[in-house]
Amino acid sequence: MKKKIISALLCAAMATSLLAGCGSSSAGSSSTTTSAATEAAASTETAAKAGESAGSADTDSSSGSYAGQKIALVGKSAGNAFFEIAAATFVSTVESEGGTVDIVYPEEATADAQIKVLDNLISQDYDAICLSANDTNALQAKLEEAMDAGIAVSSFDSAPNADSRQIFVNQAGTTAVAQALVDAVYDITGGEGQWAILSATSQASNQNAWIDAMKAIIAANDQYANLELVEVAYGDDEAQKSTDQTEALLQNYPDLKVICAPTTVGIAAAAKYLQDNSASCKLTGLGLPSEMEAYTGDGDDYSCPYFYLWDMEGLGTLSAYATMALVSGEITGALDETFTAGDLGEYTITAADDGGTEIVLGLPLEFTPENVSEYAKLY
Ligand code: RAM
């Protein structure tokens, strides 16, 4: 049933995306800005879409109250196509409103490296920092310092804790993502047997939230009682380390039926390793269709029957509008506030699982052998 709902939304989303087309322009606003080529002019359907104008009392977002905003976008680490795709639409959205974005990457995917980046940014003249956090709690002092200095702090993809941000843009509800992944593991294993998780870094806020939610879903429902999670392995969002971890999982657990990789880097590495080695162990998780197309299919020749992600272009667009609305004062990040995210329509700020607030973009999207090629053209 759930799958059918997701599929229906997916079809609507895909039709909208394909109709909108995939424009391309340079996102470069500084030397640190992403070189990702793909950006979309419009976004896909979302559950929260309402399509009416925000009408904030003291701002006029359509005529450039966002103009002149200077925003820093901080990634988890460099070289991740996932972030570059979302960043491209973030940049184009801010630029279309007359602002500028500098994209900054830490030297490695750690909190310490992000703290160094933040230190540097706080001393500059930014109106906002939007970041994808490498750690849930470790950035708190630095992000509070930023907010105390009058810099708006938003987050997308991977949230720092509730005290460290004004708003989090959640790509798809944490429980919705976890439920989709658990159901995929259940389906692909046939409802019983060993499975493992191949994650990003051990401190990654978003992966840990999904993993915790998956464990909670399994613990709460007897239907999943015969699934045995044997290990959570960490590939640190590095392709080689993710490959090595996949190999180790196969060696350590010869009966392993499924690996679930809730990271685009991990799933792509595992997909290649499993397929190249004709492993009987199958794969699911969160992936980019463009990176997974060659490995997605039915039958023994393919390592991945199906996998998930979300509307990538919408993620960048929504995060950009949320950040600009914070800077303009249209929102503060408080529960129940609303704002308009351009063509995506109106969004309402809701309660996040961690006690803070968030804006949920939409539902997870399912990528199958039937639709993966179409989506691979987009991201
Ligand atoms: C990787 C990153 C990112 C995550 C995706 C699914 O690219 O870890 O944070 O959201 O996977």
Q: Is 263 close to ligand 1, i.e. is its CB under 6 Å away?
A: yes
Distance 116 CA to ligand 1 centre (A): 21
SS3 at position 340: strand
Q: Is 307 close to ligand 1, i.e. is its CB under 6 Å away?
A: no
Distance 67 CA to ligand 1 centre (A): 30
Q: Which tokens hold the place of 74? A: 């901080």
Question: So what's the pLDDT on residue 62?
Answer: 43
Q: Provide the β-strand partners of residue 156.
A: 169
Helix (H) or strand (E) holding 112: helix 111-122
**CA-closest residue to ligand 1 atom 5:** 263
Q: Give the atom of ligand 1 at the shortest distance from the alpha carbon of 287.
A: 6
Longest dimension (CA), the chain: 63
The answer for residues whose C-beta is within 8 angstroms of residue 326's C-beta and 6 or more apart is 128, 152, 154, 166, 167, 332, 333
Rounded Cα–Cα distance for residues 224 and 220 (Å): 9
Residues 123, 126, 132: CA angle, nearest 5 degrees: 95
Is residue 44 within 8 Å of residue 316, measured between CB atoms?
no
**CA-closest residue to ligand 1 atom 8:** 263
Distance 177 CA to ligand 1 centre (A): 13
8-state DSSP, 296: B
Closest of 273, 266, 356, 343 to residue 309, by C-alpha: 266
Q: Give the atom of ligand 1 at the shortest distance from the alpha carbon of 286.
A: 6
Distance 347 CA to ligand 1 centre (A): 23
Distance 110 CA to ligand 1 centre (A): 14
CA dihedral (340, 134, 182, 213) in degrees, to 10, reads: -80
Closest of 134, 226, 170, 84 to residue 356, by C-alpha: 170
Report, in this order, helix, strand and coil percent for the chain, each rounded to 5. 40, 20, 40
Rounded Cα–Cα distance for residues 338 and 355 (Å): 19
Question: Which phi and psi (to 5°) does residue 77 adopt?
Answer: -165, 160
Residues 321, 327, 329: CA angle, nearest 5 degrees: 100
Question: Could you identify the residue written with the tokens 């999670």?
Answer: 229
Ligand 1 mutation target, pool 135, 263, 367, most atoms within 8 A of CB:
263
Query: Beta 307-309 vs 365-367: how paired, if at all?
Result: antiparallel
Query: What is the chain's pLDDT, residue by residue, as a tens digit (379 residues)?
Result: 333 333 334 434 443 333 333 333 332 233 233 332 222 222 222 222 222 232 333 334 444 589 999 999 999 999 999 999 999 999 999 999 999 999 999 999 999 999 999 999 999 999 999 999 999 999 999 999 999 999 999 999 999 999 999 999 999 999 999 999 999 999 999 999 999 999 999 999 999 999 999 999 999 999 999 999 999 999 999 999 999 999 999 999 999 999 999 999 999 999 999 999 999 999 999 999 999 999 999 999 999 999 999 999 999 999 999 999 999 999 999 999 999 999 999 999 999 999 999 999 999 999 999 999 999 999 9
The answer for residues whose C-beta is within 8 angstroms of residue 136's C-beta and 6 or more apart is 159, 160, 161, 203, 205, 208, 354
Q: Is 264 close to ligand 1, i.e. is its CB under 6 Å away?
A: yes
The answer for residues whose C-beta is within 8 angstroms of residue 245's C-beta and 6 or more apart is 198, 233, 234, 235, 266
Closest of 321, 349, 322 to residue 335, by C-alpha: 349
**CA-closest residue to ligand 1 atom 6:** 263
Distance 82 CA to ligand 1 centre (A): 6
Q: Is 242 close to ligand 1, i.e. is its CB under 6 Å away?
A: no
Q: Is 80 close to ligand 1, i.e. is its CB under 6 Å away?
A: yes
Burial class (CB in 10 A: 0-12, 13-18, 19+), 147: middle
**CA-closest residue to ligand 1 atom 4:** 263
Query: Beta 338-340 vs 346-348: how paired, if at all?
Result: antiparallel
